[in-house]
A and B are shown apart, each in its own frame.
Chain A
Amino acid sequence: DGGITQSPKYLFRKEGQNVTLSCEQNLNHDAMYWYRQDPGQGLRLIYYSQIVNDFQKGDIAEGYSVSREKKESFPLTVTSAQKNPTAFYLCASSIDRQGGNYGYTFGSGTRLTVV
């Protein structure tokens, strides 16, 4: 079955540590996205990529980094510069680069907690 796989489901980060969240899709979608969701709040866009080897900053990119070396993969690194990283992280993909035409398919999410 096609879909988006995020791993791990739960991740604990120590102060000053970088961590990487994995996102893999086998839907052959062009565009991929990373969102952050805080309790009781909507989704905020961190980074997005419409094509391999290219990506753009979203609304809250500071303290995060991404790469898009393969169409199927869009990992997100939460760096030590991100001062408040505890949140629910969602990866999504869209069949078209415009994204807005068909909506997104979401992965199951990674819950990151700072300890």
Chain B
Amino acid sequence: QKEVEQNSGPLSVPEGAIASLNCTYSDRGSQSFFWYRQYSGKSPELIMSIYSNGDKEDGRFTAQLNKASQYVSLLIRDSQPSDSATYLCAVNGPSNTGKLIFGQGTTLQVKP
């Protein structure tokens, strides 16, 4: 089992819809969770971080964390064509190593 798993997609949604991106992780000791957006040919950009169970909202983005189910998700409301990108889920690795473990990413396509 991979340490951080994401559906590679592509996930296709119409403009204005809600896009839902999901991620599961294997290490129950993980404490920090991140979502990165990566446009084609560019480097990842941090868009959300979440550390405790529940929802965290920032503009059109909402991160959701459920540690009991080892599940983290990203909701994008009012999706725009400019949201079309690959979204990487990252989870902190073993303590004292400073490593983040990345999923392989979900490609989102927002169609006008």
Chain A positions within 8 Å of B, measured between CB atoms, are 31, 33, 35, 40-43, 45, 48, 50, 56, 58, 90, 94, 96-109
The 7 closest A-B pairs by CB, nearest first: A100-B92, A99-B98, A42-B104, A106-B43, A43-B102, A103-B34, A100-B32
Main secondary structure, interface of A, reads loop
Closest to A107 in B: B43
Closest to B101 in A: A45
Q: How many A-B residue pairs have CB under 8 A?
A: 67
List residues of B (36-84) whose CB comes within 8 Å of A's CBs. Answer: 42-46, 49
Q: Counting CB contacts under 8 A, is B95 at the interface?
A: yes
Q: How far is the CB of B60 from the nearest CB of chain A, in Å? A: 20
Given contacts A42-B103, A50-B98, A98-B95, contact A103 B43 (CB under 8 A): no
Q: How far is the CB of A21 from the nearest CB of chain B, in Å? A: 13
